[in-house]
Amino acid sequence: MGIAMIICDQIITEDKTNKKSLMGCFNNVSAAQFPTAPMNCAVFVALTDGHGAYQGKLECVNEDAGREPIFGMGGPVVFANPLQTIELGFKLVNLSFPKPGTHAITFSCDGEIILHRRFTVKQIAPNEVMP
């Protein structure tokens, strides 16, 4: 049912064609101090082969800190038919991470995790160049 979950800097929609471009896909976040300075990013989720309505939920937790919740939100995801692809673009503004560690973003439908993505938030020296 889950096709893709991409973490990126931003999602751009082309006006005429409605095509989506995912800019600056990443798996790591580096910061010199914690909590990190507020950052903007986006999570692109694509789903298909669904039957009817589900309760969708996007969650982010820090797995190295006892699954400490970073953010989470939910809402109905309704498929007209299984051939439909539902794309969701979550634009996250002022996102901050309290601690370093391996983080996971999951998208679940009716409590069942269908997309799961890990990324690392690591501490770097103040003068170190961020990758």
Partner 1 sequence: MIAIESPLLQFGQDFAEVTGAPTNKVSGVGEEPFISYTELMCVFAPLVFSITEMSDNEVVQLAESSASFAFLDSPEEDIYNDLLKSKE
Residue 124's alpha-carbon distances to 40, 48, 87, in angstroms, are 19, 39, 34
71 binds partner 1 (CB under 8 A): yes
Instruction: Output b/e per residue, 4-41; b: 16+ Cβ within 10 A.
Output: ebbbbeebeeeeeeeeeebeeeeeebbbeeeebeeeeb
Would you tell me how many other CB atoms lie within 10 Å of the CB of residue 127? 6
**Of the candidates 28, 37, 67, 122, which one interacts with partner 1 according to CB under 8 A?**
37
Choose the stretch contacting partner 1; rule: CB under 8 A; options: 21-29, 35-43, 106-114, 117-125: 35-43
Choose the stretch contacting partner 1; rule: CB under 8 A; options: 21-29, 53-61, 105-113, 117-125: 53-61
Question: Looking at beta carbons only, is 27 or 33 nearer to partner 1?
Answer: 33
Q: What SS3 class is residue 64?
A: helix
Mask of contacts with partner 1, 74-93, x by CB under 8 A? xxxxxxxx-xxxxxxxxxxx
20 binds partner 1 (CB under 8 A): yes
Residues 6+ apart with CB under 8 A from 122: 28, 29, 30, 31, 100
Provide the minimum distance between the beta carbon of 36 and partner 1 in the complex, in angstroms, as a whole number. 8
Provide the minimum distance between the beta carbon of 108 and partner 1 in the complex, in angstroms, as a whole number. 13
Residues contributing to the site for partner 1 (CB under 8 A): 11, 13, 18, 20, 33, 35, 37-38, 53, 56, 58, 69-81, 83-96, 126-127
